[in-house]
Chain A
């Protein structure tokens, strides 16, 4: 079955540690996205990539980093510079970056900083 997988589902981290969230898709989509969701809030874009080896900052990129070395993978690193990293992180993909195409979301990773 085609889809987007994120791992792990739950992640606990100590303050000061970097952590990497995995996102893999087998939909052959060119574009991939990372969103952050806080309780009672909408989705805020962290980074997006429209093609391999290229990515752009979203609205809240500070304290995060990404790479896009393969079409199917778009890992997100939450660095120690991110002041308030506890949140629900969602990865999404679309066929390409055109605005008329739907985005498919993964199941999410809930990150808690202890």
Chain B
């Protein structure tokens, strides 16, 4: 089942902050965050793992609440280059209890940063 992202769209001025949320109805093993510019391929930002290990991007941070099955992406002091659509992808443990398998992506959050 597809994770739900909120808000659907955000409009900011340069230097403002934003938070994008991703909620799942399933227990999560990992959450991936990607940014996509219009007509281009998604670009990796960050992975958050069950148990707290995080790999990520230097100017963007994220949290992962395993109990609530939620992740949030924090964009601070936004820049014009942050504009794009942000997707979370979630990964649940499969029936065998291993972590192989597929990512399920949310519908995306459109972020627009104005000068």
Tell me the bound Cα distance from A97 to B102 in angstroms. Answer: 8
A20 lies within 8 A of chain B by Cβ? no
User: What sequence of 0s and 1s flags, for each residue 5-48 of chain A, a beta carbon within 8 Å of any chain B beta carbon?
Assistant: 00000000000000000000000000001010000111111001
Which residue on A lies nearest to B28, using beta carbons? Answer: A99
Distance of A96 Cα from B2 Cα, bound (Å): 23
Count A-B pairs with CB separation below 8 Å: 65
User: What total of chain A residues lie within 8 Å of the partner, measured CB to CB?
Assistant: 26
Bound CA span A45–B101, Å: 11
Task: Check B41 against A98 for contact (C-beta < 8 Å).
Answer: no
Q: Are A100 and B47 in contact, with the CB atoms below 8 A?
A: yes
Q: Measuring CB to CB, which residues of chain A are less than 8 angstroms from any residue of chain B? A: 33, 35, 40-45, 48, 50, 56, 58-59, 90, 97-108
